[in-house]
Amino acid sequence: MPTPKGDAKTCSQGHRYYKSSDCPTCPICEREQKNETGFLLLLSAPARRALENHGITSLHKLSEHSEKEILQFHGMGPASLPKLRAALEEAGLSFKS
């Protein structure tokens, strides 16, 4: 078994991890957040910010909106819709009709 590198730390969520730097970011929390918001990584920065500015950080929240509503957000363009549709379909969701 490999020897852990760095000091043992515990985040506010109770995750225990090792880090050699002073960076307070918990890698376990980061991984969990990436899984939840991973679909945002498919988008351009303006489109991602448009969704985040409207509180849409999960596919479930995205599915509560229609495509027409999403396109009204400043920074969101039609090129992002196929990526969002595919992410919703993969999760068994769809845009609101």
Nearest CA among 61, 54, 51, 72 for reference residue 96: 61
Is residue 21 classed as helix, strand or coil in its secondary structure? Answer: coil
Give the Cβ contact number of residue 7 at 10 Å. 11
Q: Each residue of 19-57: pLDDT tens digit?
A: 777 766 777 776 665 545 578 888 888 898 899 889 998
Tell me, yes or no, whether 37 lies in a domain: yes
Tell me, yes or no, whether 85 lies in a domain: yes
Q: What is the pLDDT of residue 12?
A: 80
Task: Give Cα 43 to chain centroid, integer Å.
Answer: 11
- This prediction has a pTM of 0.62
Is residue 97 classed as helix, strand or coil in its secondary structure? Answer: coil
Q: What total of structural domains would you count in the chain? A: 1
| Domain ranges, residue 51 | 33-90
Tell me, yes or no, whether 52 lies in a domain: yes
Tell me, yes or no, whether 76 lies in a domain: yes
